[in-house]
Amino acid sequence: MESTTDKNIAAFTHLISLTQYFIPFGNYIFPILLWSSKKDKSEFVNHNGKQVLNFQLSLFLYSILLIMIAIPCFLISIFNNIPFTTIINENSFNMSNFNLHDNIGLLTLGLTSLLIFGMLKVAEFFLIIYAGIKTSNGEYFKYPITIPFIK
C-alpha cells in the first residue's frame, strides 16, 4: 500500500510534464527533479518517474523521426520542378512549373507524417492526464509505445 504522499508525488511527476506547453523542456526538467529527489525513498515514485521520462524521451525520438520524414518530403516536392534560374523574376516568386501530379507521393508521405505527429501530441496530452489519475489512485501505470531507456 502506497502512502498518500507517494501517490501525490508520483501523480504530480506525471502531470508536471505538461509544463512543456509553457516552459521549454519542462517535460524533462521538472520530472527529473521530482523523480531524483524521491526515487530512493519510494519504489512507487521510482517506477512512475522512470515511466514519465521514458515516455517523454520516446515521444521526442518519434517526433524527430517524423520531422525528418516530413521536411525533406515537402522541400523536395516544392523544389523538384522549379528551375532556379526563374525563381526570382523582378521581385516575384514564380511557381508556374510546379506539377502536383508528379509530387503527390512525397506530399502524401509528408502530410501523413505531420498527421501522425499531431495525433501523437494529442495522445500525449490525454495519456499524461490519464496516468496522473491512475497514479493518484495508487496504481502502477505504464505508458504505451514507450521505449525503456531508463530501467
Q: What's the sign of the alpha-carbon dihedral 97, 98, 101, 102? A: positive
Whole-number percent of the chain with pLDDT over 90: 56
pTM of the model: 0.83
Residue 63 has pLDDT above 70, yes or no: yes
Q: For the chain, what is the mean pLDDT?
A: 86
Residue 72 has pLDDT above 80, yes or no: yes
Split at pLDDT 50, 70, 90, the class of 90 is: low
Residues whose CB falls within 8 Å of the CB of residue 70, separated by 6 or more in sequence, listed in order: 109, 110, 113, 114, 117
What mean pLDDT is predicted for residues 35-55?
Answer: 91
